[in-house]
Amino acid sequence: MTASSVSLIRMALLVLIPTITCAQDTLPATRPAVSPSDEKPAGQNSDQEIFSGPQPNEKTAPLPVRLALGTKAGTDFDPVTAAADKPLLLIFVHDVNRQSISMTRVLSGYAASRADAELQTCVVFLADDLPAMDARIRSMQHALTPDVPTGVSPDGREGPGTWGLNRSVTLTIVLSRGDKVIANHALIQPSLQADLPRILKSLVAEIGGDVPALEKLPGMPQMAARTAPGSNPAPDMRALLTPVIRRNAPEKDVRKAAERVENAAQSDPAVRAELARISTTIVNSGKLSDYGTSTAQEYLRKWARLYGAPANNKPATDSPK
């Protein structure tokens, strides 16, 4: 399998299996930090919210950034000061992966198109090794939005202490005007389909306009085909598989979620077919270690073995050892 084939497979999987997202996330002393393992599957209420960065109606602070791209690369820039009283969208990238970069590209691309509202935008990468991150940004600049100020926080992985950013999330997205926060979205596992609409809604509520259709946004991956009218709805593989492949999930939770998957596969041929396709693709992609815990990976191998074979209608009966 070529590298380009693996990339296409991974992009397809991001559309097929949108991962769990979290609510907002900040770290003042009165706000308890919650690890990703405490997050509940989509559709369930969390006992605690995740916070990162200043929350709505709180004040922002100066934000030093060392620019990595463009004619001003290597110089210092403060997007908060530069924006003054104009609306400002800040995208903090805590973890570089296909999900975070896809969200960053699409969201910053839309923001760049809203010159009519004088919207200012800045993408800030957070890392302990600043020179390595600077080089990494340059190497992937083709996947980022041109002409949007993009750089690295000189304050390392935690970012400026006055911003209260939470390193356990993947993206922190802050919308402000002047020195006041308008909206905050903290995402542990970003999903374009699940998270982008509510982010765009909060954005246009401040700058005006209509919330754009996702499929019309530049850089948006091709959406999965919709179910034809009159046909049976496609199985909701996201709801089934996300709890299995959630990072840092306790083993007992993974096994319970996997049991639900297997029960669904026993009773629904469509689930078996999708499970065969998804598990086989993940296992054969060479990126199995990116999906959940070791227990989750055992189940994915098991499903690829049982359902990926020609006789993939056979119900699963064995469990990972």
- Looking at the fold, whether 48 and 184 belong to one and the same domain comes out as yes
Q: Which of 181, 216, 251 is the last residue of a domain?
A: 216
132 C-beta neighbours (distance < 10 Å), count: 11
Which range of residues forms the domain containing residue 159?
20-216
In a domain, 315, yes or no: no
Which CATH number do you get for residue 164? Answer: 3.40.30.10
In 94-141, the DSSP E strands lie at 120-125
- Looking at the fold, whether 145 and 252 belong to one and the same domain comes out as no
In a domain, 124, yes or no: yes
Q: Which residues contact 260 (CB under 8 A, 6 or more apart)?
A: 240, 243
- Looking at the fold, whether 173 and 296 belong to one and the same domain comes out as no
In a domain, 319, yes or no: no
- Looking at the fold, whether 155 and 91 belong to one and the same domain comes out as yes
Q: State phi, psi for 214 to the nearest 5 degrees.
A: -55, -40
**The pair of three-digit structure tokens given for residue 289, joined into one six-digit string:** 């270690």
Rounded CA gap, 279 and 256, in Å? Answer: 18
**The pair of three-digit structure tokens given for residue 318, joined into one six-digit string:** 């064995």
Nearest to 66 by CA among 150, 172, 175, 159: 150
Rounded CA gap, 2 and 8, in Å? Answer: 10
Please report, in tens digits, the pLDDT of each residue of the chain (321 residues total).
444 444 444 444 444 444 333 333 333 333 333 333 333 333 333 335 789 999 999 999 999 999 999 999 999 999 999 999 999 999 999 999 988 999 999 999 999 999 899 999 999 999 999 999 999 999 999 999 999 999 999 999 999 999 999 988 999 999 999 989 999 999 988 889 889 999 999 999 999 999 999 888 888 875 444 444 544 556 778 888 988 998 888 999 999 999 999 988 888 888 888 888 888 888 887 888 888 999 999 999 999 888 875 443 444 445 565
Secondary structure class of 67 (helix, strand, coil): strand
